[in-house]
């Protein structure tokens, strides 16, 4: 148990370092965006491939992707119904902020350290379904809630999914695991070295994006999202945890996945489509804090 506390305390220190370097002006949020691109396009794909290269493919893990996808679709319809009387720019943010999770830029360092390669493999499958939610449904929803003329760019969605490096890495990793392809030792060593940088970069990025000053006029809206997001996530996660006929790690992955924070993509979607970007930024920040604490508790109880 102390090992888990120690891991989270170390992570908090690294997050604090990221926050301090931002506050002192050594690194800005704009440079943080560059760091997030580095993670998504280099260190995270390397980590995914290395993880799958060392484990055996199990078909039942595909259910994790399907569960993430179906949960997101169900929550989409529920959120539309609950917030139908809100102003359109706010309603759009509510919908997209509850559609998908921040996994690659939040959960992986903790899962990797505490649950190891097996845990990382499980979370990677869950993230496959999540990628479709974030880069497919969330984008479509943002466009549909935008003021004025609405035109969904199908080509943009397809190109975004096909050029999303983590998703490409998932497909390659699946092929490697499914066909038991052995990577050259030299290539695997390079990927392992690159992947080892992922954890600290993600934690620093969380600190860089951390904000404690939230718009007080939006607190009622923030609380609505928090209640729905974590109420639904914990309820569905616990029901599946006790009912599904899979092992503890499998069920714990679902529970953890359903309480992870709002995806970072909500911010650019809100800005591009003239939605309430202040509301979007506050939700991302607040859910990062809440999910960090919930994740700590879940790891303590289920590890």
Angle at 297 between CA 247 and CA 33, to 5 degrees: 100
Q: How many CA atoms lie within 13 A of 303 on its CB side?
A: 21
What's the pTM?
0.85
Domain annotation for the chain: domains and CATH numbers = 2-209+217-302 (1.20.1530.20)
SS3 category, 138? helix
Q: Find all residues with CB under 8 Å of 296, minimum gap 6, and list them.
A: 4, 8
Q: Find all residues with CB under 8 Å of 142, minimum gap 6, and list them.
A: 92, 96, 269, 270, 272, 273, 275
Which residues of the chain carry a pLDDT beneath 70?
149-153, 157
> Do 29 and 220 touch, CB atoms closer than 8 A?
no
- The CA-to-CA distance between both ends of the chain, in Å, stands at 8
Q: How high is the pLDDT of residue 2?
A: 73
The angle that helices 277-302 and 219-243 make with each other, rounded to 10 degrees, is 30
């Amino acid at each position: 148990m102390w090992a888990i506390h120690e891991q989270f305390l170390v992570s908090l220190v690294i997050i604090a370092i990221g926050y301090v370097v931002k506050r002192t002006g050594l690194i800005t949020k704009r440079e943080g965006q560059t760091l997030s691109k580095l993670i998504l396009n280099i260190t995270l794909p390397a980590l995914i491939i290395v993880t799958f290269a060392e484990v055996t493919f199990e078909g039942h893990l595909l259910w994790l992707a399907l569960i993430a996808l179906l949960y997101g679709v169900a929550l989409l319809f529920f959120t539309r119904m609950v917030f139908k009387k809100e102003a359109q720019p706010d309603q759009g943010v509510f919908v997209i902020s509850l559609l998908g999770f921040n996994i690659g830029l939040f959960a992986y360092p903790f899962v990797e350290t505490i649950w190891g390669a097996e845990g990382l493999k499980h979370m990677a499958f869950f993230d496959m379904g999540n990628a479709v939610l974030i880069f497919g449904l969330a984008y479509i929803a943002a466009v549909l809630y935008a003021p004025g003329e609405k035109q969904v760019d199908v080509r943009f969605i397809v190109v975004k999914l096909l050029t999303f490096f983590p998703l490409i890495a998932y497909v390659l990793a699946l092929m490697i695991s499914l066909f038991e392809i052995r990577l050259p030792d030299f290539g695997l060593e390079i990927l392992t070295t690159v992947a080892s940088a992922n954890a600290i970069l993600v934690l620093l990025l969380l600190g860089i994006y951390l904000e404690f000053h939230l718009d007080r006029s939006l607190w009622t809206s923030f609380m609505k999202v928090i209640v729905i997001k974590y109420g639904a996530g914990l309820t569905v996660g616990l029901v599946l945890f006790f009912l599904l006929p899979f092992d503890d790690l499998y069920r714990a992955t679902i529970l953890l996945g359903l309480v992870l924070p709002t995806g970072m993509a909500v911010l650019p979607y809100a800005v591009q489509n003239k939605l309430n970007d202040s509301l979007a930024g506050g939700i991302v920040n607040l859910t990062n804090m809440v999910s960090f604490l919930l994740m700590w508790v879940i790891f303590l109880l289920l590890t």
